[in-house]
């Protein structure tokens, strides 16, 4: 028979676990708020550290590129010197990536494209290196690069989204829809509203044929709402499809309804599978009046409308909007052939975009 000698000063494990659990349960009344504040501070500190590291890396790459340019100009360096430099840097810093001959050439191109060091420090250092490469590879004019760089920073675009916006010519399409915003909305609200619409809207990725009907387009947009929101632009939130409204006992249904967070107003979207016709504005005008009367809060601005048509005659659209008392824009949509064939295959899939945005599976909630 084995006799155990028990030290009275040592608690059994089960008792110790109970004491720890009890201690964890007994917290001051303001503990939860303090913990939440600490978490926020930690997240902010992590983000600042990441931004600081990225800023230093971008500036380092720009300085290396500038030095290569200067030495090539002054001393006639050839391509083989870059090969040697890549070898020596990788030998000296084996734990660091980014010193391949290809990347050193990108650094040289980066410095050549952006000779203004102040702009690099103030603006470009906010973007990761792979965003910089997208700007270099996809664009050839400085004003275009500046515009897309500013938008990427403003809207926090991932590299994939930046590439999509460049390849679908967002800059050329922004603010091109025919509208009556200048006469129906006060500034600067009218300017922001006009810039929030584009023409045409690219709906290639919905996988529809040229002759798709309105309901098929609407259904495809709903199924791929993440992709459509990217095309619609920053600031839009999805509200619903076939949104029911009742007026005088009669039922009506809005094709698609969104809310713009910066404009603080609803966007009513009507789809037309054919050419624009003047009578379309009357229907949309009615929907806007109803949304303003039944849905708009006292803090919201008046709703704006967007007619998406397969084709439009700009002159007809301008006359149709001239005496319409609600703010409406008219734009075309393109289901196929809106991109060169070589670019269509380079676009990421909808699933890739959803993974990039981190909202896969949440678009219908």
**For 318-341, how does the pLDDT look when each residue is reduced to its tens digit (9 = 90+)?**
888 888 888 988 888 777 544 344
Return the pLDDT at 322.
Answer: 85
Domains of the chain: which residue ranges? 50-156, 172-357
Q: Report pLDDT for 362.
A: 43
3-class SS string, 280-314:
HHHHHHHHHHHHHHHCCCCCCCCCEEEEEEEECCH
Angle in degrees, 0-180, between the axes of helices 314-322 and 279-294, rounded to the nearest 10? 50
Q: Which residues pair with 236 in a beta bridge?
A: 260
Give the long-range contacts of residues 288-293, CB within 8 A, separation 24 or more. Answer: 288/326, 288/327, 288/328, 289/326, 290/245, 290/247, 290/252, 291/245, 291/254, 291/257, 291/266
pLDDT for position 203: 73
**30-54 residue pLDDT tens:** 888 888 899 999 988 888 888 888 9
Residues of the chain under the 70 pLDDT cut? 1-25, 204-212, 336-365
Which residues lie below 8 Å from residue 60, measured CB to CB, with a gap of 6+?
Answer: none
Give me the pLDDT at residue 145, please. Answer: 95
Q: Give the C-alpha separation, 237 to 193, whole Å.
A: 15
290 contacts: CB under 8 Å, gap ≥ 6: 245, 247, 252
172-357: CATH topology is Trna Endonuclease; Chain: A, domain 1 (3.40.1350)
Tokens 């703010």 correspond to what residue? 327
Cβ contacts of 325 within 8 Å, gap of 6 or more: 184, 285
What does DSSP say about strands 265-275 and 250-260: parallel, antiparallel, or unpaired? antiparallel
How many CB atoms are closer than 10 A to CB 131? 22
For 363, residues 6+ apart whose C-beta sits below 8 A from its C-beta are 225, 226, 238, 354
Q: What tokens appear for 357 in the block?
A: 């945005």
**Whose CA is closest to 82, among 109, 117, 57?**
109
For 100, what's the count of Cα atoms within 13 Å in the CB-facing half-sphere? 5
User: Do the beta carbons of residue 225 and residue 349 sit within 8 Å?
Assistant: no
Can you give the pLDDT at residue 236?
Answer: 86
């Amino acid at each position: 028979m084995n006799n155990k000698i028990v030290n009275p000063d040592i608690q059994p494990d089960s008792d110790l676990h109970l004491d720890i659990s009890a201690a964890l349960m007994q917290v001051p009344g303001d503990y939860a708020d303090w913990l939440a504040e600490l978490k926020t501070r930690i997240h902010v500190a992590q983000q600042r550290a990441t931004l600081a590291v990225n800023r230093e890396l971008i500036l380092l790459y720009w300085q290396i590129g500038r030095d290569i340019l200067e030495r090539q100009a002054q001393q006639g360096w050839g391509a083989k010197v870059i090969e040697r430099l890549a070898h020596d840097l990788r030998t000296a810093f084996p734990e660091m990536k980014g010193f391949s001959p290809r990347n050193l050439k990108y650094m040289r191109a980066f410095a050549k494209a952006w000779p203004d060091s102040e702009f690099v420090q103030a603006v470009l250092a906010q973007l990761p290196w792979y965003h910089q490469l997208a700007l270099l590879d996809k664009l050839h004019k400085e004003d275009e690069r500046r515009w897309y760089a500013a938008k990427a920073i403003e809207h926090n675009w991932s590299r994939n989204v930046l590439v999509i916006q460049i390849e679908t010519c967002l800059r050329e399409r922004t603010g091109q829809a025919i509208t009556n915003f200048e006469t129906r909305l006060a500034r600067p609200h009218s300017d922001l509203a006009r810039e929030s619409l584009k023409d045409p809207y690219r709906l290639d990725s919905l996988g529809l044929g040229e002759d798709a009907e309105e309901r098929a387009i609407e259904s495809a947009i709903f199924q791929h709402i993440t992709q459509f929101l990217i095309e619609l632009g920053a600031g839009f939130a999805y509200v619903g499809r076939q949104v029911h409204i009742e007026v005088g006992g009669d039922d009506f249904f809005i094709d698609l309804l969104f809310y713009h967070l910066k404009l603080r107003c609803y966007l009513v979207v009507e789809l037309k599978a054919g050419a624009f016709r003047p009578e379309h504005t009357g229907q949309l005008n009615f929907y806007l009046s109803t949304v303003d009367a039944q849905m708009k809060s006292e803090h919201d601005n008046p709703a704006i409308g967007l007619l998406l048509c397969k084709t439009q005659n700009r002159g007809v659209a301008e006359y149709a909007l001239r005496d319409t008392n609600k703010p409406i824009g008219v734009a075309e949509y393109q289901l196929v052939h809106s991109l060169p064939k070589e670019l269509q295959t380079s676009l990421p899939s909808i699933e890739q975009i959803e993974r990039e945005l981190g909202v896969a599976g949440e678009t219908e909630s």
